[in-house]
Structure 1
Amino acid sequence: MKATIERATLLKSLGHVQSVVERRNTIPILSNVLIEAREDNSIRLMATDLDLQVDESVPANVDQPGATTVPAHTLFDIVRKLPEGSQVELDVAEGKMHLSAGRSRFHLSTLPRDDFPVISEGELPTKFELPAATLRQIIDKTRFAISSEETRYYLMGIFLHVADDQLKAAATDGHRLARVVMPKPDGADGMPDVIIPRKCVAELRKLLEEVEGTVEVSLSPTKVRFGLGSAVLTSKLIDGTFPDYNRVIPTANDKLLKLDPKTFASGVDRVSTIASEKTRAVKMSVDRDKVTLSVSSPESGTATEELPADYGSDTIEIGFNARYLLDILGEIEGDTVEVHLADAAAPTLLRENDKSNALYVLMPMRV
């Protein structure tokens, strides 16, 4: 194999694929990236952790087609440190990859291409397209609520399903819930309910940074594939049943509080400075046209802040985890956030307004 490729092109593509590779691997080949020089003057780069795979083709000058695998993180670090604008020559001979750029020379150990595992997708009967901007919004508005508790593995991803002629995405960790709805895309009829794993969501979001236009989504009950221009991301899905989250979305919260989300977030952030790391609890005392935020910590002292608000119901005191509240407020884009309250023990509903495609549910804390 012999090929020449521009440093910037190689670095960008390696950046996409190498982040899939785990830093510690018991299987040596999984630490490597597959590099395949093709006759059509392109280089294909691929990396996998057996659950997730990124595959990308980039233009190059190929003198001799061939394929090999080299340590992914090492290669990425080398290319990152090469001079800008340099041409990178890749030459494989006698079990080594010789890499040269300008006056730099590297000789890297390789492992055979035939040992490199590829995720077999099988049939992916459901196929539809989503605008990249829509997919970014789905991820941003839900992923903070993904659980990290391995005992509840079925909550460790974003639940994507079709219901009521809409495509719905939801994530919850038992303390908060985020849900986004949008019109059902063409081709999503009969789509199976799927849970997209946290790592796949993170890698997909990185790749979406550079994608304009649409993303091709193909899936089966066990696998999902995202076509993102020159890159293809394939992932296994979480094999589990996502709970019926509709049951925790309150419908009878009759106390409506309206605030400016940025002012609200700043106030919560300030008073929570002295909250204990363990509980992060902040108390909200809601009265006519004002909210008083307070934190009391045995170690640090107390803090209070008063915020103007639009509220006309009975006085209520309720506590929340400050970090969870800030995560939600960070995704409210408008000038107003609606906080629908019932009592100090009931789940609270937050959203921009009744036309917003995103809603959030937050469980209160005792304070």
Structure 2
Amino acid sequence: MRFSVEAAALKRAFATLNPVLVRKGFTTIVENVLLDLSGDTLEITSNDLDQAARIAVTVTGEEPGKTTVNAMRLKSIADTAPEGAQISLFATDDPADGADVRCGRSRFRLATLPAKDFILPPPVKGIALELQPGELAQLLSAAVCTSTEETRYYLNGIFLHRKGKQLCATATDGHKLAHIPLPLPEGGEEMGDNPHGGEGYIVPNVAVRHLAAMAGDKACRISLSETAIEISVRMGNEDGPLTYRTELVDGQFPDYARVIPARTHFSGVAIVNTERFRAALKRCSVALSAVENADPKAARRPKEIIALNFESNVLRLETSGDYGESASEEMDIEWDAPALRCGFNWRYLDAIADAVDAERMCFWPDVGGPSRFEPEQEDGRVYVVMPVRL
């Protein structure tokens, strides 16, 4: 195979694939990327056997062919190339010859492995969903509530499912929950509609992180089978399509509806300025900071509990640390219900307020049960945080 390509184009392609490139694998072939040249299109594929990604790059093709080279070495050549440089690569069918790479006045010889040794993942055949720009990013925003606990592995991801005429993403770690609904996209009618019976697909945390980094807010096509998910993203005019594939979490997501309390369950709702609330949380958390200790083994984890006092149009935040330190702050809110005092982990409140991403949010507090959060302008999103005993 032989081709030449703008270094900037190759650099962009590797920057997109970077989250799934293998730095050090259990075998050399997974550290390599597959280069497949056909005409003026070069497809670069990375596969660590759990997840795979492929992106197309427009090049000047001279001889079609396939080979594999070390991903990080080729990426480094593209990253360090002078501005405006061209990179050319030539490789024979014999892996012993390696690959000759030229970039300006630089010359490189990279080791290659046979393309036939590279394991290509099978295509995902099943339900296909067409998402508009920004919709994938909305679904992935539920990741703020995913768990990393190994014993409850079925919570280690986002539960993607159909609920009537909506496509929903739900995540929980047992302390907080996010539920993000979207209008059912084209192809969604083929999905089962029994989320409270566990019917749906759990997209693992690692895939959520990588998709957020690679796909952003672009339009995409999602293909779902019982065991895998494949997402094809239209990257833009300069770059070819990106395809990402990974296995799904093999487990059943719990019936999350039982955790989301109805609005009628609460005695009142507070309308809170989100930015001011987050700032007050962080200021009050200063009193909870751990104190340095000369003996690292004796270091104590800081407390994270904050008390919220809801009174007539005023919210008072209070914290007290283990060493006699304390902090309090008052802020104006809308609240006309009876006075109420409850406690939360302040980090959970901050994460949810950040996820709400609205100028003002509705906050339904409860002393002994889950509290509910929504943007003031309803868009279907619901967040839940469990309280703590004061």
Q: Same fold (TM over 0.5)?
A: yes
Q: Which blocks of at least 5 consecutive residues in structure 1 are unaligned?
A: none
Cα shift at 1:312? 1.4
Q: Give the alignment's TM-score, normalised by structure 2.
A: 0.88
Q: Which blocks of at least 5 consecutive residues in structure 2 are unaligned?
A: 193-199, 235-240, 290-300
Which amino acid is the alignment partner of residue 117 of structure 1?
I
State whether structure 2 residue 308 is matched by structure 1 residue 308: no
Cα shift at 1:95? 3.7
RMSD: 1.7
Cα shift at 1:273? 2.6
What are the equivalent positions in structure 2 for 1:82-161 lying under 5 Å apart?
82-93=81-92, 94-122=96-124, 124-140=125-141, 142-161=142-161
Structure number with higher strand proportion: 1
What are the equivalent positions in structure 2 for 1:174-213 lying under 5 Å apart?
174-192=174-192, 193-209=200-216, 211=218
What are the equivalent positions in structure 2 for 1:241-320 lying under 5 Å apart?
241-251=252-262, 252-276=265-289, 277-299=301-323, 301-320=325-344
Whole-angstrom distance in 1 between the partners of 2:225 and 2:157: 16
Q: Identify the match of residue 250 of structure 2 among 227, 239, 259.
A: 239
Whole-angstrom distance in 1 between the partners of 2:99 and 2:307: 61
Whole-angstrom distance in 2 between the partners of 1:71 and 1:190: 41
Q: Give the alignment's TM-score, normalised by structure 1.
A: 0.93
Which amino acid is the alignment partner of residue 389 of structure 2?
R
Cα shift at 1:115? 1.1
Aligned residue pairs total 361
Which amino acid is the alignment partner of residue 247 of structure 2?
K
**Which segment drifts farther, 153-162 or 333-342?**
333-342
Whole-angstrom distance in 2 between the partners of 1:153 and 1:5: 43
Shift of the 274–24 alpha-carbon distance from structure 1 to 2, 3 Å rule, reads farther
Report % sequence identity.
30
Moved over 6 A (4+): none
Whole-angstrom distance in 2 between the partners of 1:181 and 1:83: 46
- Per the alignment, in what secondary structure is the counterpart of residue 221 of structure 1? coil
Which amino acid is the alignment partner of residue 218 of structure 1?
S
Contact 1:160 1:167 in 2 (8 A): yes
Whole-angstrom distance in 1 between the partners of 2:324 and 2:37: 61
Counterpart in the other structure of 1:32: 32
Cα shift at 1:299? 3.8
- Per the alignment, in what secondary structure is the counterpart of residue 79 of structure 1? helix
What are the equivalent positions in structure 2 for 1:221-232 lying under 5 Å apart?
221-229=226-234, 230-232=241-243
Cα shift at 1:59? 0.5
State whether structure 2 residue 361 is matched by structure 1 residue 361: no
Whole-angstrom distance in 2 between the partners of 1:155 and 1:188: 23
Contact 1:121 1:223 in 2 (8 A): no
Counterpart in the other structure of 2:225: 220
Contact 2:17 2:214 in 1 (8 A): no
Cα shift at 1:173? 0.7
